[in-house]
Amino acid sequence: MHGGGSGEFSAVVFNMVAVWVERRRRMAEKELGNDEEKVLQRVRQEIEDGGLKLDYIVTGSWSLKASQEAARLLEPLASPKAKEFVNIVTDARVSNGGKFGTIPPEDTWSLTSTKGGGSAFVYYCDNEASLSLLSTPFLSQGSTLEPCNMLTSNNFVDRRRG
- pLDDT over 70 for what percent of the chain? 75
Instruction: Tell me if 159 is assigned to some domain.
Output: no
Poorest-pLDDT segment among 81-85, 120-124, 141-145, 146-150: 141-145
Instruction: Tell me if 144 is assigned to some domain.
Output: yes
**What is the per-residue pLDDT across 102-125, written as a single tens digit (0 to 9) for each?**
888 888 999 888 777 788 988 888
Number of structural domains in the chain: 1
Q: What is the pLDDT of residue 134?
A: 45
Q: How confident is the model at residue 147 (pLDDT cuts 50, 70, 90)?
A: low
Q: What is the pLDDT of residue 42?
A: 96
DSSP for 31-91, please give it.
HH-S-HHHHHHHHHHHHHTT---EEEEE-SHHHHHHHHHHHHHHGGG--SS----EEEEEE
Instruction: Tell me if 161 is assigned to some domain.
Output: no
Q: What is the pTM of this model?
A: 0.80
∠ CA 85-122-152, nearest 5°, is 130
Of the two residues 125 and 2, the one the predictor is more confident about is 125
Instruction: Tell me if 162 is assigned to some domain.
Output: no
Cα distance between residue 15 and residue 58, in whole Å: 20
Instruction: Tell me if 79 is assigned to some domain.
Output: yes
Instruction: Tell me if 160 is assigned to some domain.
Output: no
Q: How confident is the model at residue 82 (pLDDT cuts 50, 70, 90)?
A: low
Task: Please give the average per-residue pLDDT across 91-112, as a whole number.
Answer: 88
Instruction: Tell me if 20 is assigned to some domain.
Output: yes
- pLDDT over 90 for what percent of the chain? 36
**What is the per-residue pLDDT across 27-59, written as a single tens digit (0 to 9) for each?**
999 999 999 999 999 999 998 888 899 999 998
Instruction: Tell me if 116 is assigned to some domain.
Output: yes
Cα distance between residue 140 and residue 137, in whole Å: 8
Best CA proximity match to 128, nearest among 161, 92, 96: 92
Boundaries of domain holding 9: 4-154
Cβ(76)–Cβ(92) below 8 Å: no
